Amino acid sequence: MQHHQAQNDFRRKWDKDEYEQLAQKRITEERKKKDGKPVPPVKLAPLRHRDYKVDLESNLGRTTFITKTTPQAKMGGHYCNVCDCVVKDSVNFLDHINGKKHQRNLGMSTSVERSTLDQVKKRFEVHKKKLEEKKKKDDSEERMKELREEEEKAKAYKKEKLKEKKRKAEYDLNFEDEEMAAVMGFSKFSSSKKPH
């Protein structure tokens, strides 16, 4: 590894050809097996989104006993069975499963496949259908809620009318009793005592 410096220039000048040769040499060494046959380069699939939900809360708030014989997967933290490692908290676990090492172990590179216009249009259609279904579901739930509220209001109204009718009937009955007593010459009974 050589680097050349000009007389008054203190910046390093790297020999690009030399580093290109070193890189090619390393690549060819990696591709060779013990028996000398070249190994075809591993073609990694492009990155794709997860089709499963990451479970971060299943062991939340649980207490477990860890002994010497406890397998690594059952020890505290989050266990990655792809990389055979334990990560102690959820933030680092998410960083791990989104990281280069984990993706390579899954057989994916970290480069993303370029989408065509048709793929983007289809994806928009799928999302539009999901939104429409959600809107219909929300509309039907809202309508059911409104119907329940109307039923409750109708019940409360009927209850109030019955109470009002009952009060009016009691009032009319009391009023008729007082009129009848007055006609017959009785006055209201009172508990007041006459002074001596």
Specify the amino acid at residue 71. Answer: P
Alpha-helix runs per DSSP H in the chain: 16-31, 90-97, 100-105, 117-184
Question: 153-191 pLDDT, tens per residue?
Answer: 999 999 999 988 888 877 777 766 776 677 766 655 555
What was the pLDDT predicted at 41?
A: 65
The CA R_g of the chain, rounded to the nearest whole Å, is 42
pTM for this one? 0.43
The first and second tokens of residue 34, run together, are 């013990």
Question: 35-78 pLDDT, tens per residue?
Answer: 566 666 667 888 888 888 888 888 788 888 888 888 887 877 88
CA distance 158 to 167: 14
Tell me: pLDDT of 192 over 70: no
